[in-house]
Structure 1
Amino acid sequence: MQIFGVDIGGSGIKGAPVDLDRGDLTDERYKVLTPHPATPDSVADGVKEVVDHFGWTGPVGVTFPGVVTDGAMIRTAANVDKGWIDTDARVLLGGRLGGAPVTVVNDADAAGVAEMAFGAGRDRTGTVIMLTFGTGIGSAVFTDGVLVPNTELGHLELHGHDAEKRASSKAKEDHDLSWEHWAHRVQQYLAHVEMLFSPELFIVGGGVSRKAHKFLHLIEGVNAQIVPAQLQNNAGIVGAAMRAAHGA
């Protein structure tokens, strides 16, 4: 079975058809830059461009970098235009896609769902936390495989700031941090999250997961196992398609 997945991020909108039996893309993903400002209409245009690239006409799962309720309603918009707040994204995107059924889910929740089914969290019990490092920091918390949605742990306070302002991939780029310096910030963040939730496993996702060998070994003093996401930056696309298949 195939469903189309789209991952809306702070820097890019990417998508592809997904084989739900294998948990993998059936074609090379297509990506467009996230518009700035990332208003609902401009982002919807980007989603349409990605979906139209493949000539897809069936159901579509879409991730969003913020709190999403009922598979449709946007409640927060930290890294996109505030005009998204209280937008029914299912109606907006479904209309832009010619009436296609659309399911919308928090981006990190989608990535986590995919990793728990097909990646680093497969067959794991206890508390598992997926953290996606990109424009911000997304989070997905699982207890014995059950998702606690919309946790948004990237907005925990760390040294007087939102954690994502210090430890996201964007923070590394903005402040031209070395891998060692950035890993120290990530270590402080993980230690804070571990103090609150005591997970058995951290899964590190987002685009930076492709470079896990550059920084994971530098993180010390965290009791939980720390592993890179196996689906890497495709996890959000796969998870979006999975949620669409089950109507969120």
Structure 2
Amino acid sequence: MKPVVLRVIGIGPGGPRQITLDAVDAIAATDVFLILDKGDRTSELTGVRQQMLDAHAAPGHTVVAVPDPPRDRDPADYAAEVRRWHAARVDAIDAALTAHLPDGGTAAFLVWGDPALYDSTLRLTDALARRRPLSVDVVPGVTSASALTAAHGIVAHAVGEPILTTTGRRLSSTPDGADQNQIVMLDSSLAFRETADPDDTVYWGACLGTEHEILVSGRVADVADEIAAKRARVREELGWIMDIYLLQKGRG
């Protein structure tokens, strides 16, 4: 089995011009691009990736759609289900590399945001590297957190304050004293409506950097329902949504 260079390229939260010059160079130097295909509901996101490839990839490159294995979104054992899902993804990616780069070469994943922040691609590449000769090259990307604060024109914290980055699933278990500034990702239920004080401030953004971008900010008691309604509408209209928010303590 010939060695493969597998690039994991951060492409930002969705805007076609939010990729870095390093990412542009990495795309131009890649032979095969692997896309985990989630079906029609994310076809627009696949289209954004394709725009980037049309603009920056070398002639003769290949795009391989790898069907994303199904996943239980509400399992009894969340960790076990994620491990099963990741193993199925690794199997599918390994088969795609074998089929399309039998003599070695370069392949890449284009990863939304930054590969190091709430993304599992690097876990998959670690598992792949235990199966086959593989060199992994990571290109960082603009995070959705930085896109959020830039879109709102704010600093994420007061002078000297810490920031906690967490998920909606874990928001209710934020340790005491760590809730001054919380950047919350992967929160389809908008958990802050249950955990935040009415006078906390929330800065919410969806589809950052795209033509669908929506921003809402204000006192939690004043804007929570507006955020929930706009999130539901975008999800219904597009079939997908990528959103994030910053929750700040007692500033409303």
TM score, norm. by length of structure 2: 0.35
Structure label with greater radius of gyration = 2
TM score, norm. by length of structure 1: 0.35
